[in-house]
């Protein structure tokens, strides 16, 4: 994996007409993550998707520059936040869900299988009572569930593989496909975290690629590519089917599984994962302060190769 690109980039993907949202992508350079604003052009209601609460893992410090940038874009474009959404409990960045909910008053949500992910990590951290997603999220979305962003309808697709409970948000001709696909020149995302499965990732990607060809797919990460040094995060279904390095048309399921698993076997854990997940599984909240007024995170030792 190449080092994250070190420039903050914002791009607007405009609505293509009735039923199509405006989308802003905001690149977070420290983790290579892309944060999204999905807005109804008519009503100016918006959803914030996968926004980061910055975490300096070397010094154990949290800061808000990324979420401040997202909220500034909301203000500049006259938008009103209707939802704070995450696609899954992220391994490489800390979700800003709780902070955004507090600032905007909008409900926060994630997928209905996140409690199953929480059980896995509660065991790994030996924190049996720490995580209660139903407490920390206003909605746990089921497969096929719909909800409104102004006059637009957002539909939830279960997309396991990267995690067992990852979901895709589909709004008109825009799909927020998180850590399933990456840009066509890179391929796909890893599937080796606890609860992840490569065969399920393949199935999830096939469901996504069955969407209409012009559908805009917005991915969760980019680290540059072999022939580019600018971050990119948008490509259509048709572009992925024609040229995605791992899953373009004609790729066999067995070959994808072989290539993906071989690649995953070379990857270390993300730098922030052991801190991030015990915050993200609390909806972006820190553990309660201890008697000295400070917060502490717990790190498992010798639990991972």
CATH of the domain at 82: 3.60.15.10
Q: Give strand pairing partners of 83.
A: 47
d(CA 193, CA 146): 28
| pLDDT reported for residue 178 | 94
| pLDDT reported for residue 89 | 97
Rounded (10°) CA dihedral 17, 24, 138, 275: 150
Burial 163-194, CB ≥16 within 10 A → b, else e: bbbbbbbbbbbbbbbbbbbbbbbbbbbbbebe
Using DSSP's 3-state secondary structure scheme, residue 8 falls into coil
| pLDDT reported for residue 2 | 45
Domain annotation covers residue 289? no
Q: Which residues of the chain have pLDDT under 70?
A: 1-7
- Residue 171's Cβ-side half-sphere holds a number of Cα atoms within 13 Å equal to 28
Burial of 297 (0-12, 13-18, 19+ CB in 10 A): middle
Asked if 175 and 234 count as a contact pair (C-beta separation under 8 A), the reply is: no
pLDDT in tens, 93-152: 999 999 999 999 999 999 999 999 999 999 999 999 999 999 999 999 999 999 999 999
247: how many CB neighbours lie within 10 A of its CB?
25
d(CA 174, CA 12): 13
Q: Give strand pairing partners of 80.
A: 45
Domain annotation covers residue 245? yes
pLDDT in tens, 291-303: 999 999 999 999 9
Domain annotation covers residue 180? yes
Reported pTM: 0.96
Domain annotation covers residue 157? yes
Quickly list DSSP for 156-212: EEE--SSSTT-EEEEETTEEEEETSB--TTT-B----STT--HHHHHHHHHHHHTS-
How many percent of the chain have pLDDT more than 90? Answer: 94
54: how many CB neighbours lie within 10 A of its CB?
18
Sign for the CA dihedral angle at 208, 146, 39, 189 comes to negative
Domain annotation covers residue 288? no
| pLDDT reported for residue 1 | 39
Taking alpha carbons only, the member of 86, 124, 126, 80 closest to residue 106 is 80
* Residue 105 CB contacts under 8 Å (≥ 6 apart), including other chains: none
- The residue segments making up the domain with residue 159 are 10-278
> How many domains does one find in the chain?
1
d(CA 29, CA 9): 8
Using DSSP's 3-state secondary structure scheme, residue 25 falls into strand
| pLDDT reported for residue 6 | 60
Domain annotation covers residue 297? no
């Amino acid at each position: 994996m190449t080092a994250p690109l070190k420039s903050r980039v914002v791009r607007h993907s405009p609505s293509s007409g009735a039923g199509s949202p405006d989308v802003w992508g905001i690149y977070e350079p420290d983790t290579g993550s892309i944060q999204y604003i999905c807005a109804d052009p008519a009503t100016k209601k918006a959803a914030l998707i996968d926004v980061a609460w910055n975490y300096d893992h070397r010094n154990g410090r949290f800061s808000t520059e990324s979420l401040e940038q997202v909220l500034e874009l909301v203000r500049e474009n006259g938008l009103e936040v209707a939802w704070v959404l995450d696609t899954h409990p992220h391994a490489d960045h800390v979700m800003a869900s709780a902070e955004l909910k507090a600032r905007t008053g909008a409900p926060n949500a994630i997928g209905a299988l996140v409690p199953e992910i929480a059980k896995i990590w509660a065991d790994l951290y030996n924190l049996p009572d720490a995580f209660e997603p139903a407490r920390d999220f206003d909605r746990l979305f089921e497969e096929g569930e719909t909800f409104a962003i102004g006059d637009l309808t957002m539909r939830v697709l279960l997309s396991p593989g990267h995690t067992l409970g990852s979901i895709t948000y589909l709004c008109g001709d825009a799909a927020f496909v998180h850590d399933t696909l990456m840009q066509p020149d890179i391929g796909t995302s890893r599937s080796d975290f606890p609860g992840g499965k490569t065969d399920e990732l393949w199935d999830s990607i096939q469901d996504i690629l069955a969407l209409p060809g012009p559908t805009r797919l917005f991915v969760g990460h980019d680290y540059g590519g072999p022939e580019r040094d600018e971050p990119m995060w948008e490509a259509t279904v048709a572009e992925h089917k024609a040229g995605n390095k791992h899953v373009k048309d004609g790729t066999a399921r067995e070959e994808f599984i072989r290539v993906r698993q071989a690649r995953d076997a070379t990857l270390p854990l993300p730098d922030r994962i052991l801190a991030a997940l015990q915050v993200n599984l609390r909806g972006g909240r820190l553990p309660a302060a201890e008697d000295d007024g400070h917060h502490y995170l717990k790190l498992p030792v010798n639990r991972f190769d």
